[in-house]
Amino acid sequence: MRKADGKQIPQRVVSRLAMYYRVLSQLEKGGVERISSRELGEMMGITPSQLRQDLSYFGEFGQQGYGYKVSYLHLEISRILGLEKQHSMILIGVGNLGRAIASYTNFRNRGFELVGAFDVREELIGKKVDDIDIQPTTELRAFLRQNKVDIGILTVPASQAQQVADILIEEGIKGIWNFAPLKLNVPESVIVEHVHISDSLYSLSFRLHEHFN
């Protein structure tokens, strides 16, 4: 998905698209039929012109004097994000965080299906996570050769993350969703989305002191 002129969409716009999608899901669930760019912008803490500019990368979605039709904009953003497609995912590292991610049922509802789970700990092998058998990580390479996998979810300790990522990359994975607190070395062709849980705690800390000091 690129602009008509071939320019890549900036990452900050992509991040906001996910937020637009989330807020529009809530509005649709709440029965809201239409909304102005001012109201929608306010809900998300951005200006109406920022909102219009972001959406203009992808087309025309609103009407002067009417605003946006919530269900239409929601569907269009879902298409832009690729959420109408099916994605197969595997989980590597079935600790607490891995289990928590796997059981987020919303992902399955949005076309993200868990097809495999791997761990190095022998006591977990043969057990299940979210109805998927846990296999030994030594089977990871063979599994990737026999199955189409789009996304690898990395919930292993930082010390193992690069080693596991290398196997994923060598076997042609397209995307890595990385929860390990470590910057991965990957070729440009592989998309990595890194979840930095601590960033939000530090933001919270900042805002606590901004308010209370």
Q: How far is the CB of 64 from a copy of itself (least distance, A)?
A: 28
- Does 113 contact a copy of itself by CB under 8 A? no
DSSP letters spanning the chain = ---TT-PPPPHHHHHHHHHHHHHHHHHHHTT--EE-HHHHHHHHTS-HHHHHHHHHTT---EETTTEEEHHHHHHHHHHHTTTTS-EEEEEE--SHHHHHHHT-HHHHHTTEEEEEEEES-GGGTT-EETTEEEEEGGGHHHHHHHS---EEEE-S-HHHHHHHHHHHHHTT--EEEE-SSS-----TTSEEEE--HHHHHHHHHHHHHHHH-
- Does 144 contact a copy of itself by CB under 8 A? no
- Does 112 contact a copy of itself by CB under 8 A? yes
Closest CB to a copy of itself among 56 and 104? Answer: 104
Query: Using CB under 8 A as the criterion, what x/- string covers residues 64-83 for binding a copy of itself?
Result: ----------------xxxx
Q: How far is the CB of 198 from a copy of itself (least distance, A)?
A: 7
- Does 47 contact a copy of itself by CB under 8 A? no
Of the residues 95, 126, 157, 172, which one makes contact with a copy of itself according to CB under 8 A: 95
The binding site for a copy of itself (CB under 8 A) comprises 1-2, 8-9, 11, 14-15, 17-19, 21-22, 26, 45, 80-83, 85, 87, 95-97, 99-101, 103-104, 106-107, 112, 150-151, 174-175, 177, 181, 183, 189, 191, 193-213
